[in-house]
């Protein structure tokens, strides 16, 4: 009996630790150092992107991204110039290898996507290598904590100050596309200089063709 109680306590602690993990944004790095990027030397601006298209990378989020066909893309702006770059009218568009086009999910879009019934095994606690109640059952809903996490992660910068950078995540609906980043490209428009002049658009390849 004592052994059973001890195992139950350990199990509860493991589950609690897994669910209590706080979300942490990746360390901000210069976009020029990223594998996927578009550098504009004359404008002294670089846009980089990193698709979180594997289970290991997407595991930084509590919600089961890939199981819901949601592709998180980390977007990074680096301004190496001496003037502020304005992002108040920035626009993002993902073009997949089959030429389907998608704009980033809004928070309401994400709420709907994750409120749909989730597949068995898609919860954070389901990934633990131990049997848990409900592990093989379908379930749904987006808890407020998860919504807060996604709001915190979402790209929201309105400007990039001189010699600095900004980053955040965009979330795209990629349907049931296998290897969604392969052959995909992210187009970024509506980036303006301090005088309101629009810079040339950025085109960032997300994965191998």
More confident residue, 142 or 44: 44
pLDDT value of position 67: 86
Residue 101 CA: distances (Å) to CA of 41, 47, 60, 151, 191: 28, 19, 26, 23, 20
pLDDT value of position 141: 66
More confident residue, 41 or 139: 41
pLDDT value of position 77: 98
What does the pLDDT look like over 23-77, one tens digit per residue? 899 999 999 999 999 999 999 999 999 999 999 999 999 988 988 889 999 999 9
Q: pTM, whole model, 2 decimals?
A: 0.79
Is the pLDDT at 19 greater than 80? The verdict is: no
pLDDT value of position 192: 97
| For range 94-112, the mean pLDDT | 92
More confident residue, 69 or 176: 69
Is the pLDDT at 189 greater than 90? The verdict is: yes
Q: How confident is the model at residue 124 (pLDDT cuts 50, 70, 90)?
A: low
Please give the structure tokens belonging to residue 175: 């349907």
Is the pLDDT at 134 greater than 70? The verdict is: no
Mind listing the domains of the chain with CATH numbers? 23-205 (2.60.40)
């Amino acid at each position: 009996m004592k052994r059973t109680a001890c195992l139950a306590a350990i199990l509860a602690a493991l589950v609690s630790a897994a669910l209590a993990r706080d979300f942490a944004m990746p360390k901000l790095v210069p976009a020029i150092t990223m594998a996927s990027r578009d550098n504009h030397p004359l404008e002294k601006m670089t846009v980089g992107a990193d698709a979180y298209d594997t289970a290991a990378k997407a595991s930084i989020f509590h919600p089961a991204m890939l199981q819901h066909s949601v592709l998180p893309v980390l977007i990074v702006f680096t301004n190496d110039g001496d003037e502020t770059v304005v992002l108040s009218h920035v626009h993002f568009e993902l073009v997949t290898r089959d030429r389907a086009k998608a704009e980033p999910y809004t928070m309401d879009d994400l709420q709907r996507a994750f409120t749909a019934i989730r597949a068995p095994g898609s919860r954070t606690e389901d990934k633990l290598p131990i049997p848990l109640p409900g592990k093989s059952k379908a379930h749904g809903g987006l808890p407020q904590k998860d919504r807060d996490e996604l709001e915190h992660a979402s790209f929201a910068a309105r400007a990039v100050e001189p010699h600095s950078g900004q980053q955040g995540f965009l979330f795209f609906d990629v349907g049931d596309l296998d290897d969604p980043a392969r052959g995909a490209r992210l187009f970024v428009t509506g980036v303006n200089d301090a005088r309101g002049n629009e810079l040339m658009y950025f085109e960032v390849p997300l994965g191998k063709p």
